[in-house]
Chains A and B, each alone.
Chain A
Amino acid sequence: MFESLSDKLSGIFDKLTRRGALSEADVNEALREIRRALLEADVALDVVRSFTDKVRDRAVGAGVIKSVTPGQMVVKIVNDVLIETLGEDAEPIDLVAAPPLAIMMVGLQGAGKTTTTAKIAKRLKERHGKRTLMASLDVKRPAAQEQLAVLGRQVEVDTLPIVPGQTPVQIAKRAMEAARLQGYDVVLLDTAGRTHIDEPLMAEMAEIKTSSKPHEILLVADALTGQDAVNLAQNFDERVGLTGIVLTRMDGDGRGGAALSMRYVTGKPIKLIGVGEKMDALDEFSPTRIANRILGMGDIVALVEKA
């Protein structure tokens, strides 16, 4: 579907014989195709709208260099605005705080919180030499705490012993206390999945935050998410104040438009991406890579950059 964006744009611009500057009419026609491409990539409609406005402002009147077509030029501009919006530089997890530093993981059901928690723990241990404790606050999903314990053994990171009957807030407090007493640097709090309109669970999440004062609160979200990305990111951010986003399942063949939507509505950086189920399948976020995916046009961008 997407692969044809380039063809469509060339089609539109082939009609133009002159080079010179792009006119508003040219750009508007191109933007219709770009809008469609972004929607097919699951970028949220309102984000598409303000995004294309930005592109229009930038593109109208822009000079077209000799060696590229006007279509290619517009794609390059779209790509630039995409990267700007996604955040140009990778922002790592911030580890500058007095130990024990808490990192809280939140998100919808099945987004990949527990898996990502263990992946981050492994990374903190191996790359930063941090003594890390993981705690599962999920008292709801069957075998959720056991899942984190198994992963802890796999990556050789300690997990808080399971005490049946405790509430998530109690577990969070116990984790922080254990970390203080036993000299851990970082505590990773894996919370239960929740829909962002489930009021009791959203209130519980805010309470966990109050009691453990996390230094980072990461929204774990599926890269395959559709239009709902804006609502969920906004609601989680409003309730707990996110410090960053982790996008999982980037190993899928989704276009990843949710990345743009969530970054756009929250302004919070995408800190890491999950690229598989294995414990080392965690990468730094690269705006260029995601921009290429959303647009499916890495080649053209490279071409224009060389010209």
Chain B
Amino acid sequence: SRTSQAITQGVADVFTKRKLDALTLEELEDVLLRADLGVGAATRITEAVGKARYERDIEPEEVREILAREVERVLAPVAEELVVDDSKTPFIILVVGVNGSGKTTTIAKLTAKWTGEGKTVVLAAGDTFRAAAVEQLKVWGARLGAEVVSGAEGADPAALAFDAIKCAKEQGADILLMDTAGRLQNRAELMAELEKIVRVMKKADAEAPHAVLLVLDATVGQNALQQVDVFERVAGVTGLVMTKLDGTARGGILVAIAETYGLPIHFIGVGESADDLEPFAARDFARAIAGLEETSEAES
């Protein structure tokens, strides 16, 4: 993946056969910082790598392996599939996140995945605020063969959520995906609105929402930690999706998030099409951060 390209370079430059000394470790930490791990996580991982105290000369490839293993150790416990419980009809998923992170597109990708498996999916156009947000979801719904429940622009998204759950139940749909307007987590009134959406959903179905997905943009830096913190508290986030990993951003903040919050990471987005969704794989992600995937590709 492209995630690893610059990093591969960095690691290769740094580790042309040297002892894993203090200076080398510091440079290794830089490599992690450039991937957005943040100071805390980068320091901890570097320390873990350094603990092994290698006295002999060590090949760059080997350093990468060690680095990948340490990153994977953090990510492996949170790489969890999103399980759709068939006994819930519909299985209700609320999708939340800051503006422009990729919520609506991720909903389209999930819809494509599940309709492809023969499930019926209903979409709720819960972004009643942004210009043409409803139209955007409708275009996807029409393309993918999913019904879209929508209200008027400026309508109360909580009321729409209630209606959508009723509608999906009447139709015996398997899955209901609810889109929401983008909101920055420090905007109290918008977070209160989100809290209300969750509250009203429970009136239509006491167990709803069965899953709450927070969509994070891979280019975002340290602020992602605050996003997770507040959205988890307000909306009860059950899992994460990271989008835009097809760019050069490496999404290393997920390592810090995994350390701090331990929330499951379900999927990654790698493009703008409906099929550009992949399950989150800790090993691949970690190896990409360590610059290993690129090497094996180049060799093959």
Contact = CB atoms under 8 A, between A and B. Distances in A.
| Prevailing SS type, chain B contact patch | loop
A215 interface: no
B131 A109 contact: no
Interface in A141-157: 141-144, 146-151, 154
Interface in A243-298: 249, 251-255, 257-258, 277
A143 B132 contact: yes
B219 A222 contact: yes
B221 to A, nearest CB: 2
Which range holds the interface residue count of chain B?
35 or more
Interface residues of A, number: 46
A109 B98 contact: no
A232 interface: yes
A186 to B, nearest CB: 21
A53 to B, nearest CB: 15
A270 to B, nearest CB: 17
A197 interface: yes
B100 interface: yes
A195 B246 contact: yes
B190 to A, nearest CB: 9
Contacts of A154: 131
B222 A255 contact: yes
Contact of A277 (B2, B99, B101): B99
Contacts of A42: 221-223
B248 A252 contact: no
B116 to A, nearest CB: 19
A36 B246 CA distance: 28
Interface stretch (A58-66, A85-93, A122-130, A223-231): A223-231
Given A39-B33, A253-B186, A226 B249 contact: yes
B109 interface: no
B247 A197 contact: yes
Contacts of B101: 110
Interface stretch (B134-142, B163-171, B194-202): B134-142
B248 A249 contact: no
Contact of B33 (A45, A108, A142): A45
Contacts of A112: 99-100
Given A45-B33, A110-B102, A224 B131 contact: no
Nearest to A235: B248
A77 interface: no
Given A42-B221, A45-B30, A257-B221, A140 B272 contact: yes
A141 B220 contact: no
A21 B118 CA distance: 74
B135 A143 contact: yes
Contact of B100 (A143, A150, A222, A254): A222
Interface string B178-192: 000010111100000
Contacts of A257: 221
Interface string A112-134: 10100000000000000000000
Contact of A147 (B99, B136, B226, B244): B136
A110 B217 contact: yes
A108 B39 contact: no
B38 A40 contact: yes
Contacts of B133: 147
A78 interface: no
A227 B36 contact: yes
Nearest to A152: B131
Contact of B184 (A45, A228, A231, A252): A252
Interface string A29-58: 000000010011110110000000000000
Interface of B: 2, 6, 30, 33-36, 38-39, 98-102, 129-133, 135-136, 138-140, 143, 182, 184-187, 217, 219-223, 226, 244, 246-250, 253, 272
9 contacts: A44-B34, A45-B30, A108-B219, A110-B244, A140-B272, A225-B220, A227-B33, A249-B98, A253-B186
Given A109-B102, A142-B136, A226-B221, 6 more contacts: A45-B34, A196-B248, A225-B219, A251-B184, A251-B186, A255-B222
- Which 3 pairs between the two chains have the least Cβ-Cβ distance? A226-B221, A110-B100, A142-B139
